[in-house]
Amino acid sequence: MLTQTRAWQRLQEHHRQVSGSHMRDLFDRDDRRMQRFSLQFEDLLFDFSKNRITDQTLELLCDLARECGLADRIEGMFAGEAVNCTEGRAALHVALRNRSNRPMKVDGEDVMPAVNAVLTQMRSFVEGVHSGAWRGFSGERIRDVVNIGIGGSDLGPRMIVQALTPYHHSGLKVHFVSNIDPADLLDTLAGLRPETTLFLVASKTFGTQETLANAHAAKDWFLRCAGDQQHVARHFVAISTHRQRVRDFGIDPENMFTFWDWVGGRYSLWSAIGLSIALAVGMQRFEELLAGAHAVDEHFRSAPFEKNLPVVMALLGIWYINFFGAASHAIVPYAQHLQRLPAYLQQADMESNGKTTTCEGRAVSWDTGPVVWGEPGTNGQHAFFQLLHQGSRLVPVDFLLPACSHYALGAHQDMLLANCLAQAEALMRGRTEDEVRRQLREEGLGTAEIERLAPHRVFPGNRPSNLFMFGKLAPRTLGSLVALYEHKIYVQGVLWGVNSFDQWGVELGKKLADTILSELQGEGDLREHDSSTTALIHRVRCFPRRSGCQSGDSGQQ
Ligand SMILES: O=P(O)(O)OC[C@H]1O[C@H](O)[C@H](O)[C@@H](O)[C@@H]1O
């Protein structure tokens, strides 16, 4: 039991001692604080000095990790043990990027030959599309790729493809369709020609309602132009673990890229699910991404906890969630191309650790995963930073900051950097009432006005943040960053005692949606619902929406 460990008890005591201290004093007392509380990993600097910690905090948190058996659990994951306890499966996404090619086993079998075979298949496909050897049915080159998938079969590739915009292959545009909202597919198809469009139907299970409905609609759109069913083979490939369902859909298993049930959906961008990434940036860049993640895997496996980046990230999170009562964690990349990182991490973190039952089936009596949210800076500054600075809640922030841009435009990048560093400093230092009064006096305000305004202009500070700084956002660095977060999530799951690799919580809504769908489409009696749901279903039935939808459809065709 987490809360019964000796380290937990000591952390509670320690929290009582340190929670009153202010980070500005900790910095004033120690001019080497940044050096002591930062870690360098290749190109990545992780500055965690602006946290409400001392040496002892870190020691005690590492003790907690030791008492929870973290070392064995890390080894267990790499050894292919069934760390996904409810589904009895390994979670071996590290094998997908195992550039050392050391054997990695699941149920006694080395998975590396199969992993490498799919990478080879991806390489030849990507090269074929890029060179023009793979063409559409009319003989034209492929110009647009549409990845149809949702959740883990969308968020990772979508985030990475956007993050690597400067590396995009010039002749190809990659699009993503995920939502069952008809607007998503129709808006995307509106600018495309069937002759030059390639669809990647990405679904681990090949049973996801949204993906199958969108894929069927895309196939209809394609066939309306291509006519002959045989042409589907040049324009639809599948990425899945489920061969039979791929065949049933009408995609030749020859055009299927496989992966395995030991790859969790939200950990799958490193598998064939990353085909859209490889098409966007080329196979070499994709492999650089894998290499960056692999380097972090080696670090995670071997570095002592105090120097282990994902372990430190995880322990800091636990410090705020379990001892300061923080309920959320903001991700603020100061990089426009990392716009989708918060959304990606929402799934990675919240679907992994949004749980309250331990692997032994007991209810936890401690808080688990935070609400993850965020937006790129500087936009976020003009939206939610008010609450970060002066709100009543403690929200730890992760800043991600590329020191250099791929683009040159006046002083833009320096302004971006200055803003990020200023926000982190302001969150930490705050502004005292004395400082406010002094400033207002300098601004020439009278005493009464100063008294009136001073309380509003005080910043409490002492608000924690981590900062990742790196050079340009390159594939290897990005691979490392994502792997760091993945392992952070695993470490937290281990300490909280939950299974980070299942997602039973998304099932109930899906089941109810199936029932309600048939009720919306039928005229008969409704099954038992609460009065609110019943009334809403009746209301939908009364809307003249069908004609509206049809005219919308035909407008797009
Ligand atoms: O890849 P698929 O099998 O289509 O699954 C897509 C997504 O669906 C689900 O509802 C899960 O919550 C996600 O973890 C998963 O990534």
Q: What is the mean pLDDT of each run of 10 residues along the chain (557 residues)?
A: 96 97 98 97 98 98 98 98 98 98 97 98 98 98 98 98 97 97 98 97 97 98 97 97 96 95 98 98 98 98 98 99 98 98 98 97 98 98 98 98 97 98 98 97 97 97 98 98 99 98 95 92 85 93 66 37
Distance 166 CA to ligand 1 centre (A): 29
- Strand partners for 469: 45, 401
Nearest C-alpha to atom 13 of ligand 1 is from which residue?
Answer: 151
Q: Closest ligand 1 atom, CA of 150?
A: 6
Predicted TM-score of the model (pTM): 0.96
Distance 517 CA to ligand 1 centre (A): 19
Look at residue 276 and give its three-state secondary structure. Answer: helix
User: Is the CB–ligand 1 distance for residue 178 below 6 Å?
Assistant: no
User: Is the CB–ligand 1 distance for residue 157 below 6 Å?
Assistant: no
Q: Where are the beta strands (DSSP E) in 95-249?
A: 105-106, 109-110, 144-148, 173-177, 197-202, 236-240
User: Is the CB–ligand 1 distance for residue 266 below 6 Å?
Assistant: yes
pLDDT, position 527: 79
User: Is the CB–ligand 1 distance for residue 153 below 6 Å?
Assistant: yes
User: Is the CB–ligand 1 distance for residue 492 below 6 Å?
Assistant: no
Longest dimension (CA), the chain: 83
User: Is the CB–ligand 1 distance for residue 506 below 6 Å?
Assistant: yes
Q: Closest ligand 1 atom, CA of 265?
A: 16
Catalytic residues: 351, 382, 510
Spell 372-382 as b/e; 16+ CB within 10 A means b. bbbbbbbebbe
At residue 114, φ and ψ (nearest 5 deg) are -70, -40
Q: How many CB atoms lie within 10 A of CB 422?
A: 11
pLDDT, position 546: 60
Amino acid present at 208: T
461 within 8 A of 431, measured Cβ to Cβ:
yes
- Strand partners for 135: 141
Nearest C-alpha to atom 9 of ligand 1 is from which residue?
Answer: 151
Burial of 279 (0-12, 13-18, 19+ CB in 10 A): buried
User: Is the CB–ligand 1 distance for residue 156 below 6 Å?
Assistant: no
pLDDT, position 477: 98
Task: List the Cα angle 291/294/297 in 5-degree steps.
Answer: 160
Nearest C-alpha to atom 6 of ligand 1 is from which residue?
Answer: 151
pLDDT, position 526: 86
Closest by CA to 465, choosing from 78, 38, 67, 158, is: 38
User: Is the CB–ligand 1 distance for residue 203 below 6 Å?
Assistant: yes
Q: How many whole angstroms separate alpha carbon 524 and alpha carbon 353?
A: 40
Q: Which of 153, 273, 489 to probe ligand 1 with, by most ligand atoms within 8 A of CB?
A: 153
Nearest C-alpha to atom 4 of ligand 1 is from which residue?
Answer: 203
Closest by CA to 389, choosing from 458, 328, 342, is: 458
Distance 249 CA to ligand 1 centre (A): 18
